[in-house]
Amino acid sequence: MVIRYFFRLILGLLLLNSSAALAESNSTYKLASGDVIRINVFGEKDLSIEEIRLNDAGIFSYPFIGDVRAKGKTAAEIEQLLTESLKGDYLVDPRVSVSVLTYREFFISGEVKEPGGYPFQPGLTLRRAVALAGGLTERASTGRISIIRDQDASRTPEQATLDTVVMPGDTITIDQGFF
C-alpha cells in the first residue's frame, strides 16, 4: 500500500515537472510560418478556433479583427493582442488563451537513413532528431554536423554535437566522415 502511494507520488511529480517544462517552452517559443495554434475565448464559441495554421508570412485571420501578425510573437503576446482588440467594442472582459498545437518541422539531411522534415517536439536534441531520421549511415561523421537556425537571419551554419538542442525550423546537415 505504501509502495503504491509512493509510486503515484513520484509519477505525479514527474508529470508535473514535464508539463511545467512544456509550459515554459511555450512561453518563450516564438511563432512562425507553419505553426498550428488554438485560440479559446471563454464563453464565446464563435470566437474560439480549434485549429489554425499560420500562413507563409506568419499571419492568421481572426473574426472582427482581420489579419493578425503572429510571426516572432509568443502565444502570451498573441493572447494579450487579441484581448486588447476584443475588449470594449466586442466584449467587456474577454478571457483569451492561445496554445501551440503543432510546431513547425525541422529538417535533417546528409548521412542519415531517412532525410527529410520531421515534426518538432519540445526538448528535442540532435541525438533524438537523428533517431527520428532512422539513425546515422555507416559513413556519417558525428564530428562534422552543422545546423542552421531558423531564427538566424544570416543563415550561417554553426557546428553542432549530438547533444545540441534542436529548434523548430532548424536545418541540420550531417556530413560524411573521412576514413
Distance, in Å, from the CA atom of 56 to the CA atom of 73, rounded to the nearest integer, reads 15
Helices and strands in the chain, H and E counts: 3, 10
Residue 150 has pLDDT above 90, yes or no: no
* Residues 113 and 171 both lie in one domain: yes
Q: Both 137 and 109 in a single domain?
A: yes
Number of domains composing the chain: 2
Q: Mention every residue, 6+ apart, whose C-beta is less than 8 A from residue 1.
A: none
Residue 60 has pLDDT above 90, yes or no: yes
Range of the domain at 46: 36-102
pLDDT at position 179: 59
Residues 79 and 110 in one domain: no
Quick one: residue 9, left, alpha or beta (phi over 0 = left, psi -120 to 50 = alpha)? Answer: alpha
DSSP β-bridge partners for residue 108? 116, 172
